């Protein structure tokens, strides 16, 4: 891989969890160049519509480009069809983009629509896999330890937030490429996309 591609990578921990009525989505803030922490406040969680979000693990430039492309495509779809794209549709669109032009990323597309709550894991070659919860990035083994132990069907939004925060905290403590805080958001049909403030995240973590 040449230097122009292997510049700034997000080793990364990102997570998506379905609950009864919505999804919780989160990501850490750290970006690395090899063993060097290149940035401590990288955005890896993106709102791409009122009810759909994207998380990114991989090269920062590719992640930012994809987030802009997807947000624009979903707005155009809404304008053309008069109805929002489904989460499955957004996942399929994302997978098709990666098939046509591979990116050095691993993604989550999460959100809600009339069919319910969804989390899709999308690999760099365009594979798309739905699940009740998913973790990506170098911190995912540590997050899955928390998820396998504490995820339950039909959790409340508060329970899902606590599990997501615990999982991201576990990855930050054990994975050198993850950390420096976290972003968390809740998505529901009624409330749309709501990202927690820094104070709300701090309060949540203090209760864990």
Strand partners, 105: 58
Catalytic positions, written as ranges: 12
Q: How confident is the model over 109-145, as pLDDT tens digits?
A: 999 999 999 999 998 778 899 999 999 988 999 999 9
Secondary element (H or E) of residue 166: helix 157-174
SS (HEC) of 100-163: HCCCCEEEEEEEEECCEEEEEEECCCCCEEEECEEEECCCHHHHHHHHHHHCCCCCCHHHHHHH
What ranges do the domains of the chain cover? 9-194
Q: Tell the CATH superfamily of the 9-194 domain.
A: Aminohydrolase, N-terminal nucleophile (Ntn) domain (3.60.20.10)
**Would you give the distance in Å from CA 42 to the centre of its chain?**
13
Q: How confident is the model over 147-191, as pLDDT tens digits?
A: 999 999 889 999 999 999 999 999 999 877 788 889 999 999 999
């Amino acid at each position: 891989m040449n230097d122009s591609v292997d510049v700034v990578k997000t080793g990364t921990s990102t997570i998506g969890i379905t609950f009864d009525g919505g999804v919780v989505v989160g990501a850490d803030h750290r970006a690395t160049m090899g063993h060097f922490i290149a940035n401590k406040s990288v955005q890896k969680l993106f709102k791409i519509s009122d009810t759909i979000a994207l998380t990114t693990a991989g090269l920062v430039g590719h992640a930012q480009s994809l987030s802009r492309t997807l947000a624009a495509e979903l707005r155009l779809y809404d304008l053309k069809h008069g109805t929002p794209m489904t989460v499955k549709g957004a996942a399929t669109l994302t997978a098709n983009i990666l098939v046509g032009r591979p990116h050095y990323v691993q993604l989550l597309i999460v959100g809600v629509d009339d069919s319910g709550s969804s989390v899709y894991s999308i690999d760099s070659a365009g594979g798309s896999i739905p699940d009740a919860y998913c973790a990506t990035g170098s911190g995912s083994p540590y997050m899955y330890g928390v998820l396998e132990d504490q995820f339950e069907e039909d959790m409340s939004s508060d329970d899902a937030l606590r599990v997501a925060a615990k999982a991201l905290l576990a990855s930050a403590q054990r994975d050198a490429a993850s950390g420096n805080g976290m972003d968390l958001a809740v998505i529901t049909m009624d409330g749309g996309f709501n990202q927690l403030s820094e104070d709300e995240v701090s309060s949540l973590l203090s209760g864990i």
